Amino acid sequence: SGVLNALLLYFTLHLDDDPRNDFTSGPDNERLVAWDQSVRYLPVELKVQRGDVLSLAASHDSSTTRIGFKQVDPSHLTDIGHLELLHTTPLSHGAGSALPVEENKKHRN
């Protein structure tokens, strides 16, 4: 058992059908110069056990990127963090509450 309080995010970009042209920002890329992995701290701490499955959802449009848990079982919650951020959102499916991890909006001049 333990506590989940952050996520490590990285991506692999498939540029064409040739895997030699793929780019990854993950820990296996020894030639990273700018696009490192990204740590996103959760707004609440979650109690977890080995084998727990927590589903993430990600979406974007022309101005916003959203990452969050689709559903958070109340048994995973601790008293640490911003519990007021638990709410039903477009990321939520079924019982429980959605937990947004990050929402980035592009700034336009």
Mean pLDDT of 75-97: 63
Partnered with residue 46 across adjacent β-strands are: 4, 77
pLDDT of residue 15: 92
Query: 53-82: per-residue pLDDT in tens?
Result: 888 888 878 887 778 887 788 888 888 888
Q: How far apart are CA 13 and CA 25, in angstroms?
A: 9
Q: Is 37 helix (H, G, I), strand (E, B) or coil?
A: coil
Tokens 């990854």 label which residue? Answer: 24
Provide the β-strand partners of residue 103. Answer: 66
**89 and 64 Cβ atoms separated by less than 8 Å:** no
